[in-house]
Amino acid sequence: MTDRETLLEVRNLKKHFKIGRKSIVKAVDDVSFDVFRGETFGLVGESGCGKTTCGKTILGLHKPTGGEVIYDGMDVHALDSDRKKDFTKIAQIVFQDPYSSLDPRMTVGDIIGEGMDIHHLCKDKGEREERVFDLLQTVGLNREHINRFPHEFSGGQRQRIGIARALAVEPEFIVCDEPISALDVSIQAQIVNLLMQLQREKQLTYLFITHNLAMIKYISDRVGVMYLGNLVELAGSKQLYEMPYHPYTQGLLSSVPVPDPRIERRKETAPLRGEIPTSINPPPGCRFASRCDYAREVCYEVMPPLIEIEDEHFVACHLMASP
Ligand code: SF4
């Protein structure tokens, strides 16, 4: 890709939360990456690694502790109220839990239409209703659903309503925050296919947050791997899956089943050991050191920087600097 355009620049982003007087959770700690217009950038990692906090901070739902988010030339966290409102139209989110993210007292029509009202996108009620009908159809629901309430729908249908709500304001960038993890396996592929189809039709850019490595492989152009608030590896999806360098990425990928049983049997595995430690007051050095078979003295003292070790393949590991 030579003609790609940077849409989003995340620079040294930090989001820390104070707990009590002495403890700090470093949920996102010095994370940098770009997202190109029209791509799907996957952000993966185990639960608690900071990927959702990262997505929400990018959208301005959290105030960052440090760093910058530049969207199409705008500093997202320095916008005045009018431009902030414009940004909420351009950049949307599809939440993880379709059960708690929809107001149970609102009809589907009002849930989808709310954003249109806030941004004055329709000249009258008739136009608003027509647009809601169109959106219901776009996400595979029916016109008759407009006056129903969220509890009358299945999980998959609710997630379709959540997607329609995000699309209602005609965004160009969507953070998909674990959009399928609360759904039955049989429904997950339908929702992923819908998101991919919408991306093609509407030239959307996605930041796709998930712990599901098997799925992200097929839908992402590039993937960033997070561990305990840090980005530890970043590469094109194919590159990352064929040649992961960071011991954490290798461990994560070893647990992803290969559909071909012959390859699966031959696969060399390096499973992750131990649990992900807490991100409260993390020690200096590499955050993965307590679980890493290759850890040495320097790993416990110095945080490894994210360096480009091959064309567009970045890794944060001391092994890469001096094998
Ligand atoms: Fe393991 Fe050290 Fe690399 Fe961290 S920096 S992943 S502890 S070898």
Please indicate whether residue 315, judged by its CB atom, sits closer than 6 Å to ligand 1. Answer: no
Which residue lies with its CA nearest to atom 3 of ligand 1? 317
Q: What is the pLDDT of residue 130?
A: 96
Quote the CA–CA distance of 132 and 231 in Å, as a whole number: 39
Please indicate whether residue 169, judged by its CB atom, sits closer than 6 Å to ligand 1. Answer: no
- Other CB atoms within 10 A of residue 249 CB: 25
pTM exceeds 0.85, yes or no: yes
Please indicate whether residue 251, judged by its CB atom, sits closer than 6 Å to ligand 1. Answer: no
Distance 54 CA to ligand 1 centre (A): 23
Question: Are the CB atoms for 30 and 230 separated by under 8 Å?
Answer: yes
Pick among 3.40.50.300, 3.50.50.60, 3.40.1160.10, 3.40.50.1780: CATH of 6-321: 3.40.50.300
Distance 283 CA to ligand 1 centre (A): 14
Which residue lies with its CA nearest to atom 5 of ligand 1? 317
Long-range contacts of 181-186 (CB under 8 A, 24+ apart): 181/96, 181/210, 181/211, 181/212, 182/96, 182/97, 182/98, 182/99, 182/155, 183/98, 183/155, 183/156, 183/159, 184/155, 184/156
pLDDT tens, per residue, the chain with 323 residues? 457 899 999 999 999 999 888 889 999 999 999 999 999 999 999 888 999 999 999 999 999 999 999 999 999 999 999 999 999 999 999 998 877 889 999 999 999 999 999 999 999 999 999 999 999 999 999 999 999 999 999 999 999 999 999 999 999 999 999 888 888 888 888 899 999 999 999 999 999 999 988 888 889 999 999 999 999 999 999 999 999 999 999 999 987 766 656 555 555 556 787 778 887 888 889 999 999 999 999 999 999 999 999 999 999 999 987 55
Please indicate whether residue 299, judged by its CB atom, sits closer than 6 Å to ligand 1. Answer: yes
Distance 25 CA to ligand 1 centre (A): 21
Q: Which atom of ligand 1 is nearest to the CA of 300?
A: 7
Please indicate whether residue 179, judged by its CB atom, sits closer than 6 Å to ligand 1. Answer: no
Domain ranges of the chain: 6-321
Please indicate whether residue 304, judged by its CB atom, sits closer than 6 Å to ligand 1. Answer: yes
Distance 305 CA to ligand 1 centre (A): 11
